[in-house]
A and B are shown apart, each in its own frame.
Chain A
């Protein structure tokens, strides 16, 4: 016999779909099938069931081999590492729940650590831009119910957020959008002909790295001012046409991704995109939203926000919180060789940071807390496998539009495995002893 669990929340991307159905064995130990999820989400659930999964912490030996250790030994190593470090970096947080983040921040405060999440290599420029100019935004249900103009700028939801268009942005029939896709116009700005671009009513194939100019040209077009014949590889007439399309809508939205945050001009692109959104509000209703990647990177920013006042790249080493991206951000700290211990949780800098940074991680005491084997676990001294959040343990997560959704546990983790929160709580308590606070 099996049982089906409904309203399951998918711990993969920032779309945070919460309508999954998961079939589990009667004893709740095996996960059999996943319905409604995209192919990536389905894999995330099924991956937890692999037989060769690592279920106990492993410590790297001088000869490069791994030796299995107990969780208690892993706690001791981690707590000692943090207690002895002058400037530890605690990076990641984006694929775990807010409860674990919260305990992690207590540890960071005690250890005098730098705390950073994956926004540092993702939507960090978005944060800097919204600190400059604000952010007119909305929840995804507003898009579903009202939006008739959808812009995807430098993002490719067809592959990166596979259910975004069907759940929220293009296809759903909402309250004021009863005709679904037919009631919407879709504009895609991307130098590549992506699978998202192929669906668009208008595809503006912007010259690579010229997004700022094009955004600016949109604003010129809104004011019916003079434009050169071609801007960023797009003929002026086409820009005017697209700008008019936005202006004539009832409710529009710009979704944007790495194509604008991590290319030339970075936060300045986003500044201009937000200025364009604000500008469009003089004619109609318009919003803008970053397409957040990890399912709970938004939550990490929120918890850091209410506990320390800054959403990423927070430096607690001086006994109070400082925030200065470029100085207190992970890549810069690692590239300058400033940190003397690396604590990674729920993310994979080994796969995404510049090689010089990864080499530095390999040189210093390091812990990687992750259910998977990753390039980061490979270069770390200690790998602590934990239960899959959203599969084997619940907890709160924040969707890309900041809506909090409480995730569900669907199966038990393999016997004896700890969750992120449980492991961190043990580290916290041990660190308290080492610091003479308990």
Chain B
């Protein structure tokens, strides 16, 4: 494998506390090595006057699987004016808010993202998710199976059987080659099976007679029992409704008293995702307002919680979530086409297109809330940038979100551009916030922070010798004054991107398709005959596929698997 040395760049690496100092980064055999160990054959990349960071990590995006693909299929209009022809190194690629798999890989890589997590994998559809990930080039990917409405989980937790819950979770992670325990509207999506919902953490789930709070606490305990790399990853109840911040606070409070137990360096027990959608005040759309401060006051104090933002990018996009009842609610609001898939024993999903229009004050307020969350974060190692792709906007807008976070001027320009800017200003705090995030903050929020939260800080998110050689060079000089648009331009098309030591992007163009891997978590538990018998029984009686056809996952479906081993037998 080739050797590289990236010379004289301004390095931003939170794992070593390097804040823009000039340093050389050396790469050999897919890993970062000390720059003294590199041989004279190494190819020199001149990064003088440029920014050097580790490859960025996407902690939450909907980029592969049944609902993403249904979105692609049912929105031909999303492809309009987006198609790129075949090139020497790329397949033809198109789509805006729900790009084809090839485009997904290329676009992440061009922005310097080298690892991405699919945020909601319905276990019954795991093969579909993996088939799409196989066709997403360059980037390493993992997927979170959903557990929050799973019948096994609800039945075990109703009886407070943490050990059985944990054994089942480990089995399902193995069967689906999943990465973490995801919860979406816990209990509410099962209620959606009957057209109902759970809007607070104390709403009982129909028939199962358990509350969302009990599901959340139980899965925290199971997660820590297993000692998984990532914590539970939760999309709480009551998404998207005015006044929902109280439900969010109730959810966050459930983390109290729990401490992370794992050998991966993770400190949180709960990751609250797309927090923007959960930080709403008011009780109607007329008096809708930001409660970002109330949420961040809690998050800043709670060291055992991490969040991501879910920034609204003011685009036409496609919302999709395992929160089935929410999507039905949304289609009743905007009257755009509604797709829904309920999945036996496990979950559901819904899809509705949405236009975040700068002419609508609610959309402007949502935009402000997402930015406020990041600007109010005291610890950038616990607050990560996402757009909940494609829900609040496509991931290809990360450079624009970074611009807004790094430049008050860019924010003020946008506020002025809103049709109802006075309404947006009065319902939020954004106009008075002059904090501008630094490149070091950005490196924490997009690299080191997500890596730590995901429990993979030894591989990703930094530039320490021994880590995977995922390195990005941006054509951006932190020493010189710059216009906000230069930030966006530089982060949109990286000058150089290395994935596991292979140069995959040069001057914003894909030059190599790399050696993509699928990350999954293999948690070994003590043999648990009861759980295995329960699994068997459910397949015989209630599933529509046999157990043997649920688990089978051959090499043709998951090429280059990379298992993170967890031993929970002790």
Name B residues whose Cβ lies closer than 8 Å to a Cβ of A: 64, 66, 68-70, 72-76, 78-79, 83-86, 91-92, 94-95, 98-102, 124-125, 127-128, 131-132, 135, 151, 192-195, 207, 328, 331, 337-345, 348, 351-352, 541-546, 548-549, 552-554, 556-557
Measured CA separation A102–B556 after assembly (Å): 12
User: Assuming the A-B contacts A19-B546, A307-B135, A404-B131, are A319 and B341 also in contact, with contact meaning beta carbons closer than 8 angstroms in the complex?
Assistant: no
Please measure, in the bound complex, the distance between the C-alpha atom of A121 and the C-alpha atom of B194, giving whole angstroms.
35
A293 contacts B by Cβ under 8 Å: no
Task: Tell me if A's interface is mostly helix, strand, loop or mixed.
Answer: mixed
CB contacts (< 8 Å) of A281 on chain B: these are 195, 328
Known pairs A138-B342, A167-B544; list 6 more (Cβ under 8 Å): A138-B348, A139-B544, A145-B345, A309-B76, A309-B100, A404-B131
Pick the contact of A135 from B74, B546, B557 — CB < 8 Å? B74
Q: A131-B75, A281-B328, A309-B78 are in contact. Are A141 and B543 (CB under 8 A)?
A: yes
**Cβ-defined partner of B131 (8 Å) among A98, A167, A278:** A98
Inside 8 A of A306's CB, which chain B residues have their CB?
Answer: 64, 68-69, 72, 100-101, 131-132, 135
A285 with B92: CB separation less than 8 A: no
Query: A interface vs B, CB < 8 Å?
Result: 6-7, 9, 18-19, 98-99, 102, 106, 109-110, 127, 130-142, 144-146, 167-168, 174-176, 250-251, 278, 281, 284-285, 287, 301-303, 305-311, 316, 319-321, 323, 395-396, 398, 402-406
Q: Which 7 A-B pairs have the closest CB atoms?
A: A141-B344, A134-B337, A141-B544, A320-B83, A138-B342, A285-B195, A7-B548
Q: Is the CB of A99 within 8 A of B556?
A: yes
Q: Which residue of A lies closest to B328 (CB)?
A: A281
Bound complex: CA A97 to CA B70 (Å)? 19
CA distance A174 to B74 in the complex (A): 31
Which residues does chain B contribute within 8 Å of A174, judged by CB atoms?
541-542
A402 and B78 in contact, given A142-B193, A144-B544, A308-B92 (Cβ under 8 angstroms):
no
Which residues of B sit under 8 angstroms from A404, Cβ to Cβ?
Answer: 125, 127-128, 131
B76 contacts across to A, CB distance below 8 A: 131, 309-310, 323
> Contacts A134-B74, A144-B544 known; A305 to B194 CB distance under 8 Å?
no
Could you say which residues of chain B place their CB within 8 Å of the CB of A6? 546, 548
Say yes or no: B74 contacts A131, CB within 8 Å.
Answer: yes
**Please, which residue of chain B has its CB at the minimum distance from the CB of A19?**
B546
Contacts of B135 in A (CB 8 A): 102, 306-307
Choice from A106, A137, A176, A302 contacting B341 with Cβ under 8 Å: A137
| Interface residue from B83, B98, B545, B548 paired with A403 (Cβ < 8 Å) | B545
Which residues of the partner chain A approach B331 to less than 8 Å between Cβ atoms? 134, 278
Look across to chain A and name the residue whose beta carbon is closest to the beta carbon of B553.
A406
13 contacts between A and B (CB under 8 A): A7-B549, A99-B556, A137-B340, A137-B341, A139-B341, A141-B544, A302-B73, A306-B72, A309-B100, A320-B84, A396-B556, A404-B125, A406-B549
Judging by beta carbons under 8 Å apart, are A307 and B94 in contact? no
Please indicate the chain A residues that have their CB under 8 angstroms from the CB of B102 in the complex: 307
Given A168-B544, A321-B79, are A406 and B339 neighbors across the interface (CB < 8 Å)?
no
Which residues does chain A contribute within 8 Å of B549, judged by CB atoms? Answer: 7, 9, 18, 405-406
A136 and B339 in contact (CB under 8 A), knowing A308-B92, A319-B86? yes
With a cutoff of 8 Å between Cβ atoms, the chain B residues found around residue A287 in the complex are: 340, 342
Q: Is A308 within 8 A of B131, CB to CB?
A: no
Is the pair B73, A250 in contact by a Cβ cutoff of 8 Å? Answer: no
Which residue of B is nearest A167, CB measured? B544
Q: In whole angstroms, how far apart are the Cα atoms of A95 and B69 in the complex? A: 21
Q: Is A402 touching B125 in the complex (CB atoms < 8 A)?
A: yes
Q: Are B72 and A139 in contact (CB under 8 A)?
A: no
For A20, give the chain B residue with the smallest CB separation.
B546
Would you call A142 and B344 a contact (CB within 8 A)?
A: yes
**Chain A contacts for B101, CB-based, 8 A:** 306-307
Give CA–CA (A167, B543) in the complex, Å.
10
Shortest beta-carbon distance, B355 to chain A, in Å? 16
Closest chain-B Cβ to A300's Cβ sits at a distance in Å of 12
Which A residues lie within 8 Å of B194 (CB)?
Answer: 146, 250-251, 285
Is the Cβ of A406 less than 8 Å from the Cβ of B342? no
User: B546, A18: Cβ atoms under 8 Å?
Assistant: yes
Q: Point out the residues of chain B lying under 8 angstroms from A141, CB to CB.
A: 124, 343-345, 542-545
Name the distance in Å between B534's Cβ and chain A's nearest Cβ. 14
Cα separation A132 to B98 with both chains bound (whole Å):
17
Residues of A within 8 A of B70 (CB): 135, 305, 402
User: Residues of A contacting B98 with CB < 8 Å?
Assistant: 309
